[in-house]
C-alpha cells in the first residue's frame, strides 16, 4: 500500500517525501464492532498492537479481555503529498504563461448595478466584477458586487477588497 501510494504521488508530480498516516481496525474475535488505532507502519508488533487495543477498549468501554483473541479487520494507510511551495499550489490554481511574477492590472468591471445602500433606504451604483476574472494582487473599492455562478459577494461602500495570493477576496471594512 505504501509503495503504491508513493508511486501515485510521484506520477502526480509530488517529489518530496510524503506524509504517511496509518491505522488499524481491531476487535476481539466475535465482536461486531472495531476500534481504530493509529499505528507506526514500521513497528507492527503483535504484542504492541494487542496492548494498545486492550488499553483503548478499556478506556472506551471500561474493561479489557486479555484472554480473548484479537483480530485485525482493516489496515489503512493514507499517503499525503505535501505541496513543496505555495507557488506550486498557485500554479495549479492560477496557471500563468511564463512570467514568475505576473503584472498586477486593474480588475475589469462588467458594468454597474443599482443596489440598496447599507441603510436600506437609499440606492447606490455598485461596480460588478466576475470572480473568475479577478487575479491575485488586484484591488478595488466598494460599493461592488463580485458575481460567480453560485453566489455573489458584496463589498459595501467605504470598504476595500483585495484578491490575496490564494484567490480569496479580503474585504477591509475599516476604510
Per-residue model confidence as pLDDT tens digits over 78-111:
888 775 555 555 565 555 555 555 566 788 888 9
Residue 63, all three cell numbers: 474493561
What is the three-class DSSP state of 137? coil
pLDDT confidence of residue 55:
93
pLDDT confidence of residue 103:
62
Convert the pLDDT of each residue in 156-167 to its tens digit: 998 999 998 888
Q: Does residue 102 or residue 128 have the better pLDDT? A: 128
pLDDT above 70: residue 65:
yes
Picking from 33, 16, 31, the residue whose alpha carbon sits closest to that of residue 79 is 16
pLDDT confidence of residue 120:
80
- Give residue 112's pLDDT band: very low, low, confident or very high (50, 70, 90): very high
DSSP tag of 41: T
Q: Does residue 6 or residue 58 have the better pLDDT? A: 58
pTM confidence score: 0.45
What is the average pLDDT score of the chain? Answer: 84
CB 142 within 8 A of CB 129: no
CB 130 within 8 A of CB 148: yes
Residue 82, all three cell numbers: 505535501
Amino acid at each position: 500500500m505504501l509503495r503504491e501510494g508513493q508511486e501515485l504521488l510521484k506520477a502526480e508530480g509530488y517529489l518530496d517525501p510524503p506524509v504517511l498516516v496509518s491505522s488499524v481496525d481491531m476487535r476481539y474475535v466475535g465482536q461486531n464492532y472495531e476500534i481504530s488505532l493509529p499505528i507506526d507502519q514500521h513497528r507492527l508488533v503483535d504484542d504492541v498492537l494487542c496492548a494498545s487495543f486492550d488499553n483503548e477498549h478499556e478506556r472506551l468501554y471500561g474493561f479489557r479481555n486479555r484472554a480473548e483473541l484479537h483480530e485485525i479487520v482493516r489496515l489503512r494507510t493514507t499517503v499525503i503529498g505535501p505541496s513543496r511551495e505555495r507557488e506550486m499550489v498557485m500554479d495549479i490554481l492560477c496557471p500563468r504563461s511564463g512570467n514568475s511574477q505576473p503584472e498586477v492590472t486593474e480588475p475589469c468591471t462588467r458594468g454597474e448595478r443599482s443596489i440598496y445602500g447599507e441603510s436600506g433606504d437609499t440606492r447606490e451604483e455598485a461596480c460588478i466584477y466576475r470572480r473568475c476574472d479577478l487575479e491575485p494582487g488586484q484591488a478595488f473599492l466598494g460599493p461592488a458586487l463580485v458575481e460567480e455562478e453560485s453566489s455573489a459577494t458584496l463589498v459595501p461602500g467605504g470598504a476595500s477588497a483585495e484578491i490575496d495570493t490564494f484567490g480569496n477576496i479580503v474585504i477591509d471594512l475599516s476604510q
